[in-house]
Amino acid sequence: MPKKKMYLYGKNSVLERLKFDPGSIRQIFIQDNFKSTEIVKLITSEKIPIKRVSERELVRIKRADRLQGIVAEIGTFTYTHFDDILNKGIEQGLTFIFLDGLNDPHNLGSIMRTAACFGGFALIIPEHGSCDVNDTVVHVASGGENFVPVSMVTNLSAALLKAKKAGYWAVGTVVSEGEDINSTSLLFPMCLVMGTEGKGIRYGIQKHLDLKITLPMKGAQLSLNVAIAFAICAQEITRQHSTS
């Protein structure tokens, strides 16, 4: 049976949702000694059902670390149809981030948070072989899910080709033998394709790339965590995009 609800937890995550999408919150559980005047005022002003519970009861509702005394029951994440993201991207100059085989929800949440902070990004993830936007993702995103459109597609290669047909360039990150991102003129509008640390970008997608870029590292020859790699890429993409 499909999941019909999610749990948002932690003060920052719940606060950002209260500010930007209070209608998505069904009810909120707060620990009996919870103290945050701002959050309680927002809950009251939005007339969201609230229930005070013990710490033990709160953990029963959502088993996770760092609940910070508050859990919000929300509906499942709403994905944006790829055609809508594509139209919005062309109008607003968004950069699309295609994530190939990303299975760690912490990394996805971190990427979402970084994308929200820089602005001007949308995420594209495959329906199979990747984690979806779940409770952990939105917790790590710390409110970023309210600002970054995410599309889940059945075929990542087909979506990439559709974006290219609409005028986008396909740029992929590779561990070595790519162009140095810091000394290369990036192509806009851009689809940035990122793979997993171990496998990288699959060949079926890699063959559609117009440009391969590498993050130069003078230190130990280790691969960067994909979320860290994205943060570095986002900085350079934003810098070049603002001057293009």
Domain ranges of the chain: 6-74, 82-243
pLDDT tens for each residue of 141-164: 999 999 999 999 999 999 999 999
pLDDT of residue 1: 45
Side-by-side strand order, sheet with 50-53: 6-9, 70-74, 25-31, 50-53
Please check whether the domain covering 6-74 is classified as CATH 3.40.190.10. Answer: no
pLDDT at 221: 67
Instruction: Count CA atoms within 13 Å of residue 80 on its CB side.
Output: 18
- 229's enclosing H/E stretch is helix 226-243
pLDDT tens readout for residues 186-228: 999 999 999 987 788 999 999 999 999 999 888 776 678 999 9
Give me 108's structure tokens: 């996805």
Task: Give the CATH H-level superfamily of domain 82-243.
Answer: SPOUT methyltransferase, trefoil knot domain (3.40.1280.10)
pTM check: above 0.85: yes
Q: What is the pLDDT of residues 111-129, one digit of tens each?
A: 999 999 999 999 999 999 8
